[in-house]
Structure 1
Amino acid sequence: MTQTEADAVVRFWQGLGLPGLVDVHTHFMPERVLAKVWDYFDSAGPLTGVDWPITYRHEEEERVALLRRFGVRAFTSMLYPHKAGMAAWLNGWAAEFAARTPDCLHTATLFPEDGVAAYVREAVEAGARVFKSHLQVGAYDPNDELLDPVWGLLADAGVPVVMHCGSGPAPGKYTGSEPVGDLLARHPRLRLVVAHLGMPEYSEFLALAERYGEVRLDTTMVFTDFSERMSPFPVTGRARLADLVDRILLGTDFPNIPYPYAHQLEALERLELGDDWLRAVCYENGARLFGLPDVSRSR
């Protein structure tokens, strides 16, 4: 990364009068797990099928330093299991990472397995502020009966869940809006953050956000040149994004992105939804959701 790139990111949020950025979708995980993720992208795995060069392939300490140079005031350690028996271990690692990285929101994860309610409760009581659920990689139904008490617990605690539930880059058995709609019908107070704006089922997930007041959507990879080639966002959906101004959150997928961090911000800016919308998406909504300092009242 060049200093020019960092300067471009800082100019973006300074020009909006913000103190920085809140990024709800960044990945930090145990090094051997992250290495396997990178190996998958390097091999153009079957879910992607395209070249996917990792832009920020650096050691953990340098990746944290980069986000700080960008002015990201709060970020996450999105991590997720692909099979039973991993989630509790990942949660232990994430708790330690958050303890040594105070600007990282303490992140946890889950999987439908015996004991899931116990380790999710333990994570919440330990201070977890956001959970990651990956229906595609985990290949599980969010309506699995083992998870029902978990969703109720998280709804009661007001802890958000960032869920990869859209069918991009390739559909899974339980991806799409229908399983999530069934989940929300039972747990309408769940603070669900739909990752990638539900790519490619944008319209369906926007409809869920319009129906359920606690549903939010993150911008991860959406609107970028890379994603527009595969799953273009419908122009007709822009007015709905404007109407949902208070429930769209900045997400980037850092470090696992095939373009510079600044490009995600440029992609949001070229939607031409206005500075107030950008301020809400890039800082204020995340600040409100996670109880961070909010500058909206002082402007």
Structure 2
Amino acid sequence: MPDDTERAGRREPVPDGERDGEERARVAAFRRRVGLTHLIDVHTHFMPQRLLAKVWAYFDAPGPLVGRPWPIAYRADEERRLETLRGFGVRAFTSMLYPHKPGMARWLNDWAADFAARTPDCLHTATFFAEPSASDDVRRALEQGARVFKCHIQVGGFDPNDPTLEKAWGLLAESGVPVVTHCGSGPVPTAHTGPEPIAALLARHPRLRLVVAHLGTPEYTEFLDLAERHDRVALDTTMVFTPFTEAVAPFPRGELPRLADLGDRVLLGTDFPNIPYGYADALEALERTGLGTAWLRAVCHDNAARLFGL
């Protein structure tokens, strides 16, 4: 979101309330153009405040997995962030959270279960890590009512084909619960990112409902290939097509027809609140693809409504 604006030949700060109102108006205008009263965002982050503060500090640094300045656009307390999303007309969202080391997944899942219980419009989210307790952690989260999982291969630094995860993947495949997976090599590649580990995983567990985050940035073509081969693989739009991402990992325009053909398996994701631009910017970037209002309605609401039975 912009911090200031040009007024009467002077640069003056924009009051928070006015800035927020202008952005709500832009999002509402997008919804009107597309023909939607509400949005569903499958890639938003809510987590314990002390952990979120560490995540923000990592972006502020910026850390080695970020690679460039990344100002947090929606740095506010939990209630304000919820108010902001709801003000945009988001009727359902997730609490994407992820461990970066062993021993974190269970307490994160307990926090997420409590958050979902007190936040009815949040899709109950859970996570796991490559460790011996993974299958027990996944089973427990499913019993608690988890409706979606987050698997962050880049931050976790683990191979999705690690033997400690085999039973966990089996449970997830059997349950049909979607797993939003950061498996592409953006913004910075690590040892286990890229399409090859996911292709190997799907060869063993073809029933997995994987949602490839960020359309697999920057390996867009390869992850489109996987989605075409596996009809239970979907993709989310997080950060793709925005000027911030286009500057370093532009989506190949020749692949837009394939993305159109997969329109029933593409879901809106934004990375709210951890984005370096406004929420409206992400929506307007999708609109600039030229894929049309029917595609946008499916992506921004209908596909997720069907996937989660909303």
Q: TM-score range by the shorter chain?
A: over 0.9
C-alpha displacement at 1:16, in angstroms?
Answer: 2.2
Structure 2 counterpart of 1:165: 183
Q: Distance in 2 between matches of 1:125 and 1:92?
A: 12
TM value normalised by structure 1: 0.96
C-alpha displacement at 1:107, in angstroms?
Answer: 0.2
Give percent identity, aligned residues only.
Answer: 67
Q: Render the CA deviation track for 1:115-143: whole Å, top value 9, x for unaligned.
A: 21112111111110000000000000101
C-alpha displacement at 1:15, in angstroms?
Answer: 2.7
C-alpha displacement at 1:261, in angstroms?
Answer: 0.3
C-alpha displacement at 1:48, in angstroms?
Answer: 1.9
Is 1:283 the equivalent of 2:309? no
SS in 2 for 1:147: helix
Which amino acid counterpart does residue 179 of structure 2 have in structure 1? V
Q: Distance in 2 between matches of 1:202 and 1:156?
A: 27
1:37-52 correspondence to structure 2 within 5 Å: 37-52=55-70
Residue pair 2:151, 2:179 contacting (<8 A) in 1 also: yes
SS in 2 for 1:3: helix
Q: Distance in 2 between matches of 1:47 and 1:121?
A: 30
Residue pair 1:77, 1:104 contacting (<8 A) in 2 also: yes
Match of 1:271 among 285, 289, 296: 289
Q: Distance in 2 between matches of 1:245 and 1:2?
A: 31
C-alpha displacement at 1:113, in angstroms?
Answer: 1.0
Q: Distance in 2 between matches of 1:53 and 1:16?
A: 29
Q: Distance in 2 between matches of 1:106 and 1:234?
A: 34
Match of 2:35 among 9, 12, 17: 17
Q: Distance in 2 between matches of 1:2 and 1:170?
A: 32
Structure 2 counterpart of 1:75: 93
Residue pair 2:67, 2:188 contacting (<8 A) in 1 also: no
Q: Distance in 2 between matches of 1:2 and 1:18?
A: 20
Structure 1 counterpart of 2:208: 190
Is 1:128 the equivalent of 2:136? no
Which amino acid counterpart does residue 117 of structure 2 have in structure 1? A
Deviates more, 1:215-224 or 1:119-128: 119-128
Structure 2 counterpart of 1:244: 262
Q: Distance in 2 between matches of 1:42 and 1:144?
A: 31
Which amino acid counterpart does residue 220 of structure 2 have in structure 1? Y
1:98-137 correspondence to structure 2 within 5 Å: 98-137=116-155
Q: How many residues are aligned here?
A: 292
Q: Distance in 2 between matches of 1:95 and 1:7?
A: 33
**Structure 2 stretches lacking a partner, 5+ long:** 1-18
- After TM superposition, which residue ranges in structure 1, 4 or more long, deviate above 2 angstroms? 14-17
C-alpha displacement at 1:63, in angstroms?
Answer: 0.2
Q: Distance in 1 between matches of 2:137 and 2:192?
A: 23
Structure 2 counterpart of 1:296: none
C-alpha displacement at 1:49, in angstroms?
Answer: 2.1
Rg larger in 1 or in 2?
A: 2
Q: Distance in 2 between matches of 1:11 and 1:291?
A: 26
Q: Distance in 1 between matches of 2:63 and 2:129?
A: 23
C-alpha displacement at 1:12, in angstroms?
Answer: 1.2
Residue pair 1:14, 1:20 contacting (<8 A) in 2 also: no
| Backbone CA RMSD of aligned residues | 0.8
Residue pair 1:82, 1:137 contacting (<8 A) in 2 also: yes
SS in 2 for 1:2: helix
Match of 2:171 among 153, 169, 192: 153
Match of 2:226 among 197, 201, 208: 208
Which amino acid counterpart does residue 171 of structure 1 have in structure 2? P
SS in 2 for 1:18: coil
C-alpha displacement at 1:149, in angstroms?
Answer: 1.1
Residue pair 1:10, 1:20 contacting (<8 A) in 2 also: no
